[in-house]
A and B are shown apart, each in its own frame.
Chain A
Amino acid sequence: MAVRVQTADFDVGAELAALRSGNPAVGAVASFIGCVRDMNEGDRVGGMFLEHYPGMTERELEKIAAEAKARWDIFDTLIIHRVGELKPLDQIVLVAVTSAHRGEALAACEFIMDYLKTRAPFWKRESTPEGERWVDARVSDDAAAARWDAGAAR
């Protein structure tokens, strides 16, 4: 159930190998990687700065991982989120989940990502040709997280 907030990049292959190493019960590893795009809201993005609230960030991510573990029959989770200066093509976030079967791993991975987007205290400031701007929260992200609250399957 590891959670890491760091400025450094991460090696997806090495992280996924480590997550399932030594556990022959793992039949599925689901992962999501978020990356910096060079376009947002119709403007070219030259780079971004990711700010967070140290302490609360780790606690929120741990709560989200624990919630996923309570909802699905999964073995382990990994959440890595980068902060600081990032540029297009850079990796921002890695979420990975191991379980016996793909259904649980895929659902838990998507759940963690949806909750992370609406609950973990990170903020993006983009550099565009018009200057720096803070990214606004999206209504669609709230809707994505809310569908897990309904209790029913998606």
Chain B
Amino acid sequence: MSSHITLVYLARLRERFGAARETLPLAGETTVAGLLETLRARGGEFAVELAAGRAFRVAVNQEVAGPEQRIVAGDEVAIFPPVTGG
């Protein structure tokens, strides 16, 4: 069993964070809100782009997720701007 989660950054946030994906160790479990807190604590672009009030979405295992959504090892968590297709 993996003890990591995979983070996926898309579109403008991929450019801001300078990576398309990264692997993060995860002991036990967290929530979307908890993960965002961890990322904001890095400072820099993460603190700016993920600040409260900024428009972004989170998907856990490719399903849009709210702040209370549980995250466990092996999950794929994507963070992206509001969508603009069509």
Contact = CB atoms under 8 A, between A and B. Distances in A.
A34 to B, nearest CB: 5
Contacts of B64: 119
B82 interface: yes
Interface string A47-70: 000111101100100000000000
Contacts of A136: 82, 84
Given A53-B10, A53-B78, A134-B12, A122 B62 contact: no
Interface size band for B: 10 to 19
B58 to A, nearest CB: 12
Interface string A116-135: 11111111110000000011
Contact of B85 (A55, A56, A59, A124): A124
A134 B81 contact: yes
Nearest to A32: B86
Interface in B1-30: 8, 10-12
Given A116-B86, A123-B80, A134-B12, 8 more contacts: A53-B8, A53-B59, A59-B63, A92-B85, A120-B83, A120-B85, A134-B84, A137-B84
Interface of A: 34, 50-53, 55-56, 59, 81, 92-93, 113, 116-125, 134-138
23 contacts: A51-B10, A51-B11, A52-B85, A53-B59, A53-B80, A59-B63, A81-B85, A81-B86, A93-B86, A113-B86, A118-B83, A120-B83, A121-B80, A121-B83, A122-B86, A123-B11, A123-B80, A123-B83, A134-B81, A134-B84, A137-B55, A137-B81, A137-B82
